[in-house]
């Protein structure tokens, strides 16, 4: 596909998402990669995520090969919503559950919903404490989880290899 073909397809697209995709592809073919226009870890973006959305955001960043041998669990207790849930990393996959969990987790994080996104920033336990996040149990599991994350390529190509 050439840049001109991408533009032709764009004019026929009724959906704005597809139109933007085709125009971005045409621009990339003509001028090269132009990078990601937004920063997904910006505090404004992160603060709007629900705990489940934050868990999903972390889960898609897991490097399954690095995390394959990891087996850890973290209970998260949100004091302002009374909605506990558990993160579990096993076999290279991060999952979460809001259902009652059996057995003890490796670590427990107690915080508010507003302070929870600080977990995604990869801060040290001392820095997390300054944001109002309290940890108990094996605090090294958070570092192990952070080490398994792959932030991805911010300059990813849309249509070129």
Domain spans of the chain, in order of start: 43-147
Triad 79, 84, 87: Cα angle to 5°? 125
Task: Read off the pLDDT of residues 30-86 as tens digits, 9 standing for 90 and up.
Answer: 888 776 555 666 667 777 888 888 899 889 999 999 999 999 999 999 888 877 889
pLDDT at 19: 76
The mean pLDDT of 86-96, rounded to a whole number, is 94
Q: Is the pLDDT of residue 98 over 80?
A: yes
93 pLDDT band, cuts 50/70/90, is very high
CATH of domain 43-147: 3.30.1050.10
Does position 106 have pLDDT exceeding 80, yes or no?
Answer: yes
pLDDT at 48: 81
Neighbour order of strands in the sheet with 93-97: 93-97, 85-90, 71-78, 107-111, 134-137
Output the pLDDT for position 5.
57
The whole-model pTM stands at: 0.73
The residue with greater pLDDT, 113 or 34, is: 113
């Amino acid at each position: 596909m050439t840049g001109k073909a991408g533009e032709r397809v764009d004019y026929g697209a009724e959906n704005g998402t597809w139109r933007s995709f085709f125009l971005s592809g045409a621009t990339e073919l003509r001028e090269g990669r132009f990078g990601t226009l937004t920063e997904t870890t910006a505090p404004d973006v992160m603060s709007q995520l629900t705990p489940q959305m934050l868990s999903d955001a972390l889960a898609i960043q897991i490097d399954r090969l690095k995390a394959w041998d990891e087996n850890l669990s973290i209970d998260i207790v949100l004091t302002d919503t009374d909605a506990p849930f558990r993160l579990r990393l096993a076999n290279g996959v991060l999952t979460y559950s809001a259902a009652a969990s059996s057995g003890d987790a490796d670590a427990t994080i107690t915080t508010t919903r507003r302070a929870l996104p600080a977990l995604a920033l990869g801060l040290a336990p001392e820095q997390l404490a300054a944001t109002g996040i309290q940890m108990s149990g094996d605090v090294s599991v958070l570092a192990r989880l952070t080490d398994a994350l792959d932030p991805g390529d911010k300059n990813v190509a849309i249509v070129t290899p």
